[in-house]
A = this chain, B = another copy of it.
């Protein structure tokens, strides 16, 4: 039995992830010590109210409400409280006290990332956050380190398990959004208040983090264009399926060059989109996550796995912890944050994409021509157009697929279509992504 030196770890938060991190640290201490060359000593777990802690697995002796004292007595601090405050203050305290920090707090990073990184860089502290995106899936480290010599052009990510479960269920059972959400809540895939998930806020935070790392620049969450899935109907999912597509909520990060000015920039956006059935992302089922990366040399890569769950996410936290602990053993600073290349953010209007538009139109001669004119007037070229007339109705249904055009041109097209007298209603507007 080797006598290892010990590294003091303070854990902030004992929720679904925190309690699993504590359990794994206590159960696998010997194995981890062997891999690290030092013993991880869990010195304390800061919680709001010790008596309120129901998790029987947690040793009572480790629980404390004094986070400040815990931080001062820790070499490495793991922040898993979630939310902005007091998380932000405590992480800054930890960094100031000379500790390295592991966090899975995506909201904190997407909102206060630059402040935290600056503080860490100043004192040469490590700030790791693999668990913040994609749960158990190793995605941030591969993006930052494995692809460091390559050039990431585009990321298409299914980064929110709740919405993927809902959309998958709508696709497989034909359920409505409401029913699928109800099932997700029953099965514990959705929170009591599902706004953060179905509103795309959670995905937008992850998109900001992914884009910042992939493009070596700073992408604030406010700069991420965000559309949730609340507008997705069973009819849309059904016609998508019949057309060979599946509706997925995508977090898209893209390197762009302005066609006119030649200006380089990046875009980060979240919206439900049509994905071809043959695309690897289409086969991501249930609450799973996957991040599809297109790099100029590596080509397409996909990282797939459980995007949430206490024990799964704990795996990512421990990965960061072991990496930092090993550096404590072998000495030397950690992996330097790559220099940031502050690229401008392109707003959604400058993005080019393809649309699938479904219109209810009056069934009379010349309608097709008038609709086609609306598209050409806005410089949007139609790739395919399908008209179906239900017998005995004065209405016809038009499904129009466009070629690539700018969001602004497509938006204007949709607006004037809605105003056009021959158009009874714009039934559905969806973007098409992940073209093969």
**In the bound complex, do residue B316 and residue A148 qualify as a contact, i.e. CB atoms below 8 Å apart?**
no
Find the B residue at minimum CB distance from A329: B336
**In the bound complex, do residue A315 and residue B336 qualify as a contact, i.e. CB atoms below 8 Å apart?**
no
Whether, in the assembled complex, A432 has its beta carbon less than 8 Å from a beta carbon of chain B, the answer is no
Q: For A24, A298, A309, A318, which residue has the most chain B Cβ atoms within 10 angstroms?
A: A298
CB distance from A168 to the nearest CB of B (A): 13
Say which residue of B149, B314, B338 sits within 8 Å of A318 (CB atoms).
B149
Question: CB-CB < 8 A to A216: which residues of B?
Answer: 35
Having A37-B339, A330-B335, A330-B336, one finds 16 other A-B pairs with CB under 8 Å, namely A35-B148, A37-B336, A136-B297, A136-B299, A137-B298, A141-B146, A148-B323, A149-B320, A149-B322, A150-B318, A297-B318, A298-B305, A298-B306, A299-B309, A331-B333, A332-B332
**In the bound complex, do residue B297 and residue A301 qualify as a contact, i.e. CB atoms below 8 Å apart?**
no
| Residue contacts A-B, CB under 8 angstroms, 26 given | A20-B297, A37-B336, A136-B297, A138-B301, A141-B141, A141-B145, A142-B146, A145-B322, A145-B323, A146-B319, A148-B323, A149-B317, A149-B320, A149-B322, A150-B318, A295-B315, A297-B314, A298-B312, A299-B306, A301-B303, A301-B305, A302-B305, A323-B335, A326-B335, A327-B335, A329-B336
Question: CB-CB < 8 A to A37: which residues of B?
Answer: 336, 339
Query: CA–CA, A151 to B300, complex, Å?
Result: 28
**In the bound complex, do residue B149 and residue A315 qualify as a contact, i.e. CB atoms below 8 Å apart?**
yes
Say which residue of B20, B24, B322 sits within 8 Å of A148 (CB atoms).
B322
Whether, in the assembled complex, A173 has its beta carbon less than 8 Å from a beta carbon of chain B, the answer is no
Tally chain A residues at the interface, Cβ within 8 Å. 61
Q: Which parts of A271-323 form the interface with B (CB within 8 Å)?
A: 280, 283, 295, 297-306, 309, 311-312, 314-323
Whether, in the assembled complex, A172 has its beta carbon less than 8 Å from a beta carbon of chain B, the answer is no
Question: CB-CB < 8 A to A419: which residues of B?
Answer: none
**In the bound complex, do residue B301 and residue A136 qualify as a contact, i.e. CB atoms below 8 Å apart?**
yes
Query: CA–CA, A141 to B374, complex, Å?
Result: 52
**In the bound complex, do residue B298 and residue A301 qualify as a contact, i.e. CB atoms below 8 Å apart?**
no
Find the B residue at minimum CB distance from A140: B146
Question: CB-CB < 8 A to A298: which residues of B?
Answer: 136-137, 305-306, 312, 315-316
CB distance from A280 to the nearest CB of B (A): 6
Query: CA–CA, A304 to B312, complex, Å?
Result: 20
Whether, in the assembled complex, A130 has its beta carbon less than 8 Å from a beta carbon of chain B, the answer is yes
| A-B pairs with lowest CB-CB distance, top 5 | A332-B332, A149-B318, A138-B146, A136-B298, A298-B315
CB distance from A334 to the nearest CB of B (A): 8
CB distance from A76 to the nearest CB of B (A): 12
Whether, in the assembled complex, A341 has its beta carbon less than 8 Å from a beta carbon of chain B, the answer is yes
Given contacts A297-B20, A304-B280, are A35 and B338 in contact (CB under 8 A)? yes
Q: Which parts of A32-46 form the interface with B (CB within 8 Å)?
A: 32, 34-37
Interface string of A158-199 (1 = CB under 8 A from B): 000000000000000000000000000000000000000000
Whether, in the assembled complex, A28 has its beta carbon less than 8 Å from a beta carbon of chain B, the answer is yes
Question: CB-CB < 8 A to A314: which residues of B?
Answer: 297
Whether, in the assembled complex, A147 has its beta carbon less than 8 Å from a beta carbon of chain B, the answer is yes
